[in-house]
Amino acid sequence: MAEPKHTVKTQAGASLQEIGVRKRLNAWAANHQLVAVETLMRLLSKPLSSLLTWMVIAIALTMPGALWMALDNMEQLSGRFQASGRITLYLTPKATEEQGQQLSDRIAALDSVANTEFIDADTALNDFRDNSGLQAALDFLPENPLPAVILVEPPLGIEQAALLRLIEQLKSYQLVDSVQLDMAWVERLQAMLALAERLIGVLGVLLALAILLVVGNTIRLAIAARVDEIRVVKLVGGTNAYVRRPFLYTGLWYGMVGGLLAWLLLILCWALLNGPVADLAELYGSGFELKPLSAAAAMVLLLAAMLLGWLGAWWSVSRHLDHIEP
Amino acid sequence: MTMVQFDRVGKRYPGGKEALSGINFELARGEFAFLTGHSGAGKSTLLKLMMLMERPSRGQVFVDGQNLGRLRPGQIPYLRRKVGVVFQNHQLLFDRSVYDNVALPLQIAGYTPAEAGRRVRAALDSVGLLGMEKRNPIELSGGEQQRVGIARAVVNKPALLLADEPTGNLDPELSAEIMNLFLRFQQVGVTVLIASHDIALIERMGHRRLILDHGHLHDGQVPAAGGIYG
């Protein structure tokens, strides 16, 4: 037998220094890359069982995702109503057109007002006549029963307290007969939306927990199948981090592919619902369109899925892996 | 220079079985020694203490100047990288090639693939298995599998090489071949300790003998003879 070619005279410590920090860092990065690819390949080599886990994750993510998409659309709707949630000032019959216009301009200059519109009594009557279909009845009236009106539009997202202060101020003008704010139903809608948001939050937490358990259990089985390998790796000096790495990447892949599938499912939901919703909106004379999940929301979904997969793997690994000793 | 030192080491397993008691011995750097004794005498336990696969109940173990009792769990992998181990059942992984089995310790220690490649081929060459890199270990004979195990144990150039019944399943001729391999590593400076109950082979080879008897150690003679047997 030939003389051994590699001399064993150098000690292990020295041989590690030989390698150099940069090379070791590169090797570490290369190992991450290798493990990432290897674990993905391992999952793809068993497509059916992997797909099962992926679909469970995807469905668990799709449910809160779809509800969230619906909520987002409802908020968009309520936002439109809020924009039209104007304050109507009915002026006293004594007010002349000139006085009304002046008051309207003064109010428009206020900080807590975005915009005003003055509608004199004649214009109001004409509008009413055109829109109400009561033309014949109105023609019988001896004089114009409608007062002049100033429409005041508070800025979007004005706070409740500021709004109430504004109303008090508007009431104090002498020319103003009464102030009407039709916001109650908007408030009710918003309260319902807040409730729905909370419900989605609770549902989301429960389903996130389900994902953690599913990934955790899948990783537990993967660990059980590779006990021999883990023993050998620990025996020849593999750190816990090294042993954990492939399982954490596996969890990350489960989450990521599950998240992508969930995204696809949400796009599918949107495509299926968009047509009927648009038809319905048209019947109500609204140009409302179902918005798909925004790119930002999709990214959040994907990142959340990856995080959940990784956490599930971490949970499983820290429960089972450290106990496997050679 | 001392490579291994046991200082009044005792090991009691849960359940009260006293596996080792009052073990005192030293191995000098570059020494070659056998550890013998009846089965159940505590040979495996003694080897495991040096790898921290077990921790002693009493006393202290030093490897390469390090007090193993002071090592935190996170430091254990770095100790194991300095110690090569060969097992009777060789602990190879059958889901990968011979090359990948031998490269495992290097991959773990963070070698680049190029460097690892050189070292793996050198290690396989030193055990006479160059050219079998791509084979799966399951296709190899018992003696060849054992040599893959040895290549994996030495690929990281460990300072200390431990073997637990490395010839347990081999016929006398193959056993002698394996023992000669270990001698070659000792000749390039590795400290070698081999647990074996193959008394006939050990006596023919000479060298220092540590004899375990029911958990007690008797340091055997250091014979003058000690060349390569074969």
B53 with A326: Cβ contact below 8 A: yes
Domain boundaries, chain A: 34-79+189-323, 86-181
Instruction: Say whether pLDDT at A148 is over 70.
Output: yes
Instruction: Say whether pLDDT at A296 is over 60.
Output: yes
Distance from CA of A256 to the nearest CA of B (A): 27
* B28 SS3 class: strand
Q: Are B33 and B163 in contact (CB under 8 A)?
A: no
Distance from CA of A12 to the nearest CA of B (A): 6
Q: Would an 8 Å CB–CB cutoff place A96 in contact with chain B?
A: no
Query: Which chain B residues in 59-98 lie under 8 Å from chain A, judged by CB atoms?
Result: 64, 74, 77-82, 85, 91-93, 95
B224 confidence band (pLDDT: 50, 70, 90): very low
Q: Are B25 and B3 in contact (CB under 8 A)?
A: no
Residues B69, B196: Cα–Cα separation, whole Å: 26
H-assigned helices in B27-141: 43-51, 76-82, 98-109, 113-126
pLDDT of residue A81: 57
pLDDT of residue A157: 65
Residues A101, A227: Cα–Cα separation, whole Å: 85
A237 with B104: Cβ contact below 8 A: no
A1 with B128: Cβ contact below 8 A: yes
Determine the residue type at B164.
D
pLDDT tens digits, residue range B46-83?
Answer: 999 999 999 999 999 999 989 999 999 889 999 999 99
Pairing state between β B208-213 and B216-219:
antiparallel
Instruction: Say whether pLDDT at A309 is over 60.
Output: yes
Instruction: Say whether pLDDT at B90 is over 90.
Output: no
Pairing state between β B191-195 and B32-37:
parallel
B122 with A6: Cβ contact below 8 A: yes
Complex ipTM value: 0.87
B184 with A3: Cβ contact below 8 A: yes
Instruction: Say whether pLDDT at B228 is over 80.
Output: no
Q: Are B105 and A15 in contact (CB under 8 A)?
A: no
pLDDT of residue A275: 87
Residues A189, B167: Cα–Cα separation, whole Å: 81
Query: Any residues with CB less than 8 A from the CB of A156 and at least 6 apart, and which?
Result: A82, A83, A114
Residues B43, B153: Cα–Cα separation, whole Å: 19
Instruction: Say whether pLDDT at A9 is over 60.
Output: no
Residues A67, A72: Cα–Cα separation, whole Å: 8
Query: Any residues with CB less than 8 A from the CB of B49 and at least 6 apart, and which?
Result: B6, B9, B11, B20, B55, B56, B61, B68
Query: Any residues with CB less than 8 A from the CB of B11 and at least 6 apart, and which?
Result: B18, B19, B20, B21, B42, B45, B49, B54, B56, B57, B58
Pairing state between β B191-195 and B160-164:
parallel
pLDDT tens digits, residue range A224-251?
Answer: 988 989 999 999 999 888 999 999 999 9
Distance from CA of B189 to the nearest CA of A (A): 5
pLDDT of residue A156: 66
Q: Are B34 and B196 in contact (CB under 8 A)?
A: yes
Closest CA to A78 of A2, A192, A177, A167: A192
Q: Are B9 and B20 in contact (CB under 8 A)?
A: yes
Task: State the average pLDDT over residues B176-188.
Answer: 90
Instruction: Say whether pLDDT at A2 is over 70.
Output: no
Bridge partners of residue A233, in order along the sequence:
none
pLDDT tens digits, residue range B1-34?
Answer: 889 999 999 999 888 888 898 899 999 999 999 9
Query: Any residues with CB less than 8 A from the CB of B73 and at least 6 apart, and which?
Result: none
pTM of the model: 0.71
Q: Looking at chain B, which residue has its C-alpha nearest residue A24? A: B110
Between A130 and A169, the more confident residue is A169
Task: State the average pLDDT over residues A32-60.
Answer: 91
Task: State the average pLDDT over residues A62-80.
Answer: 80
- Tell me which of 3.40.50.1450, 3.20.20.70, 3.30.70.260, 3.30.70.3040 is the CATH number of domain A86-181: 3.30.70.3040
Instruction: Say whether pLDDT at A260 is over 90.
Output: yes
Task: State the average pLDDT over residues A121-131.
Answer: 80
- At residue B61's C-alpha, the angle toward residues B56 and B65, to 5°, is 155
Closest CA to B107 of A14, A231, A223, A34: A34
Query: Which chain A residues in 13-32 lie under 8 Å from chain B, judged by CB atoms?
Result: 13, 15-16, 19, 23-24, 26-28, 30-31
Query: Any residues with CB less than 8 A from the CB of A54 and at least 6 apart, and which?
Result: A254, A257, A258, A261
Q: Are B208 and B34 in contact (CB under 8 A)?
A: yes
Angle between helix A21-45 and helix A12-19 axes, rounded to 10 deg: 90
B80 with A232: Cβ contact below 8 A: no
pLDDT of residue B219: 75
pLDDT of residue A79: 60
